[in-house]
Amino acid sequence: MEWETSAGLAVFHDVTCSFRIRTDPMGYVVKYEVEAKADIPCIRCGQPLHLPVKQTDWVSLRTRHPEDAHVILGDDELNIRFIEKASFDEEQFVGEVIELELPTYPRHEEDDSSCKMSNQEHQEEPDASSPFSVLSKYLDT
């Protein structure tokens, strides 16, 4: 499964998931367990970073909205989602669970030799004698 993330296009494979769904007066309660392997580009070198993902949690899918138009959820209610239809898109749900477990800025470890860092990160710092010395690399000489 391919998934667009803030860090780039990720590929999820070896995805397994299990759901336990029960009805609730306000909708459904879904307990889930998701395991997968994710390949996502390293923000330093662009090469794939292989990450295991495992998440077990629950979510309350409410089909009825509260009477008031404005809803405030407390910390203990963050697992509540309001849904329009009583249908459930498993692939979309599993993709979101995996994406939320991935790092925002995925990168290889500092000592990982497979990471070919970009030239910008390898450039030496210019002489700091002037506060404008960093701009010298943009001069046409």
29-87 pLDDT, tens per residue?
Answer: 999 999 999 999 888 888 888 999 999 999 988 887 766 666 666 666 678 888 887 77
Q: How far apart are CA 26 and CA 20, in angstroms?
A: 17
Instruction: Give the pLDDT score at 15.
Output: 94
Cβ atoms of residues 47 and 41 within 8 Å? yes
Q: What does the alpha-carbon distance between residue 40 and residue 3 come to, in Å, rounded to a whole number? A: 10
Q: What is the pLDDT of residue 79?
A: 83
Specify the number of domains making up the chain.
Answer: 1
Whole-angstrom Cα distance, residue 75 to residue 90?
25
pLDDT digits (tens, 9 = 90+) for 11-33: 999 999 999 999 888 888 999 99
Torsional sign, CA 109, 13, 100, 60: negative
Q: Which domain holds residue 126?
A: 2-138
pLDDT score, position 73: 66
CA distance 44 to 121: 8
Give the global pTM: 0.68
| Res 118 pLDDT > 70 | no
Total residues belonging to the chain:
141
Do residues 53 and 35 make contact, with C-beta atoms less than 8 angstroms apart?
yes
